[in-house]
Amino acid sequence: MKKIIFIVTFFLILALYNYQFFLGSNPVKEVSLESDLMHANEKYLDTTMKSLIGLEMYDIDLRELKILIENQPWIKNAQIILNPPKNITIKIIEHKAMYLWNNKKYVNYDGDFFITPNLPINNILKISSDQYSHKHMYGLYISINEILLDLDIEITSLHNKNSMIFIKSKNLNIVSRYSNHQSRLEEFVSVYDQFQATYKSKKPVNVDLRYPTGFAVH
């Protein structure tokens, strides 16, 4: 029995160190990319894919290759699939930016930061704060959006600074104290029809809700 175990172990070790003898030579001839890229560096990816041509398929360090690809700013996940005997498929998922945080970095739909060398998306929600986390501020955006929902006001930016909040949309710029923003916004919503009939302008209207009673428009 010991002799049989020894022989099996010997051949396993032999196969491990001489797998090309058993599997044959498998130089990579084709590398295909499956992805819907919007912002990732396609030139870099193309160079990386071309560098695999001619390499022995089973000599490629798949973990190292995955890390190399995912080091690119816009790439969230990369999957490397070997298709013996000659082909490799690379599947890539890009980050999808949900909003821009503090005018410095994007936040994806998982709530995670990702930093890019430039900020190519122009029409994106902008959120910033000098006091609160990005997750807290996004929760604030959701709650304010719900208050303004019936007014068909699309928030383009939400900023918090010095205990004030600044809400911008295409037609309105609203400022309020953070401490009582909910009640003041609800009051504004209750008179919005009258406000809209009174103040008609092609330019965004500035609404200041910081007054004890009512609000100022300028």
Could you give all domains of the chain from N- to C-terminal order, each with its CATH number? Answer: 21-94 (3.10.20.310), 98-217 (3.40.50.11690)
Mode of pairing for the β-strands spanning 30-34 and 172-177: unpaired
pLDDT at site 16: 46
Query: Which strands sit side by side in the sheet containing 87-94, from one edge to the other?
Result: 30-34, 87-94, 75-83
DSSP 41: -
Distance CA 75, CA 70 (A): 5
Structure tokens at 112: 């995670």
CB 86 within 8 A of CB 31: no
Q: Over the chain, what is the mean pLDDT?
A: 90
Report d(CA 33, CA 49) in Å as an integer.
8
CB 73 within 8 A of CB 119: no
pTM of the model: 0.82
* pLDDT tens, residue by residue, 42-84: 999 999 999 999 999 999 999 999 999 999 999 999 999 999 9
pLDDT classification of 3: cutoffs 50, 70, 90: low
Query: What SS3 state is found at 99?
Result: strand
**Tens digit of each residue's pLDDT (9 = 90 or more) over 29-42:** 999 999 999 999 99
Q: Is the pLDDT of residue 191 over 90?
A: yes
